[in-house]
Structure 1
Amino acid sequence: MSRRKPYLVGHQEFAALYRVDPKQVAQWLAPSRGSVLDPSTAVVVSGVRYWPLGFAAGWGATTARFRQVDLEVKARIIAEQGEGWEPSDAAELPPIVGQHEIIQIFDLPAQGTLATTIASGRFPAPDWLLSGSMLWMLETVLDAAPMLRESARSLPWEVDQAVVTALREGTYDGPGSRILTRGRHARKGL
């Protein structure tokens, strides 16, 4: 089934829109720099932030120091993502999942199980490939459940309705719901 999906960007695409290094996006988010980019404007999927393209493309005009968006990059992002629509607010987005959430939806024993299923071609193609990560609309994953059950040798591929409900209501707080801390600051959180 084909669905119009919202255009999204990750750190790399956000940086490309403004012709800066992806590390700059992390600096814009840093509280020590006054959070030039409000973290609440993004959705967190599998521990990583993603923004609606409409927000990301308009953000530069809202900052104290005007930043010009690269319209060619924006057009390329739209072309790469196919038919869709351009939301401006994270609240407009449908439920989006990555591998962390999918593991919880199906109560899989390990990430390797999902990775093997994806690599074998039995899992639906991702709706997005952003900043190196595969993302799916929740409905894409749920539509694939019957086929996954039929082709499985040992796993039941049963959907955990509590996880699905939490994802739909925006109350999911399981693995992947918080930002993954990386780099030199990761140890400080331990």
Structure 2
Amino acid sequence: MRRLKPYMVGYQEFAALYGVEPGMVSQWMSPSRRVLDPATATVVSGVRYWPLGYAVRFGTTTARVRRVDAGVRARLKSEQGDGWEADLDDELPPIVGQQEIIQVFRLPSQASLATAISTGRFPAGDWLLSGSMLWLLDTVLDAVPDLRATARSLPWDVDEDVVAALREGRYEGPGATVLTRGRHAKKGL
């Protein structure tokens, strides 16, 4: 069952909205610039993603107003299908990537999930953002009967504690934080 989902952007899509290179989004978050507050993003599998509504509004919140490319905005909405435009992280339903899914099912390795995805047994991602697939948590949970029916050895048992943590916004397992790299790693973003 497909649900309406919020329109989202990753680094590449955020940058495209403003006609800059993806690395510029990271620079906007750097401690030396602090134009873009990292707290405005939701973290999924260790990567930041933003609601499209916030990404569009961002350009009006800076000292130097940045204009959104309306064509890119329309293309992103078209690529993501039917949806709605969220503005804040707390408006978002639970979104998961591969790291969270591994925890939901207590899978022995990432390879188990990768095999299910590559063979088409796992549901298609709700988003493909900046090269990464993301799912609504409910999309994943709705697939459990089919996953169990086609499984050879994995039970596809759901860890209800992990699901509850994801739903309540208190998940702290793998993928819940961004691992900072580069010269700002010691300063922390």
Q: Name the TM-score class by shorter chain.
A: over 0.9
Aligned to 1:23: 23
Calculate percent identity across the aligned residue pairs.
69
Task: Map 1:36-51; keep pairs closer than 5 Å.
Answer: 36-51=35-50
Task: Map 1:145-184; keep pairs closer than 5 Å.
Answer: 145-183=144-182
Runs of 4+ in 1 over 2 A off after TM superposition: 180-189
Distance 2:115 2:187 in 1: 33
Between Structure 1 and Structure 2, how many residues are aligned?
Answer: 188
Per-residue CA deviations over 1:26-55 (Å, capped at 9, x if unaligned) read: 00011122x100111110000000000000
Aligned to 2:4: 4
| Structure 2 residue runs without a partner (length 5+) | none
Determine helix, strand or coil for the equivalent of 1:32: coil
Per-residue CA deviations over 1:95-126 (Å, capped at 9, x if unaligned) read: 00000000000000000110011000000000
Aligned to 2:117: 118
Cα displacement (A) at 1:62: 1.0
Cα displacement (A) at 1:149: 0.9
Residue type of the partner of 1:150?
A: A
Aligned to 2:94: 95
**Shift in CA distance, 38/95, structure 1 to aligned 2, threshold 3 Å:** same
Cα displacement (A) at 1:183: 4.4
Task: Map 1:58-137; keep pairs closer than 5 Å.
Answer: 58-137=57-136
Cα displacement (A) at 1:182: 3.5
Per-residue CA deviations over 1:79-104 (Å, capped at 9, x if unaligned) read: 00000000111110000000000000
Q: TM-score, normalised by structure 1?
A: 0.95
Distance 2:42 2:165 in 1: 14
Distance 2:114 2:187 in 1: 30
Cα displacement (A) at 1:2: 1.6
Residue type of the partner of 2:63?
A: A
Per-residue CA deviations over 1:101-154 (Å, capped at 9, x if unaligned) read: 000000000001100110000000000000000000000000001111111111
Q: TM-score, normalised by structure 2?
A: 0.96
Cα displacement (A) at 1:74: 0.3
Aligned to 1:32: 32
Residue type of the partner of 2:98?
A: Q
Residue type of the partner of 2:109?
A: A
RMSD (CA atoms)? 1.4
Per-residue CA deviations over 1:132-181 (Å, capped at 9, x if unaligned) read: 00000000000001111111111110000000000000000000000033
Determine helix, strand or coil for the equivalent of 2:146: helix
Residue type of the partner of 1:27?
A: Q
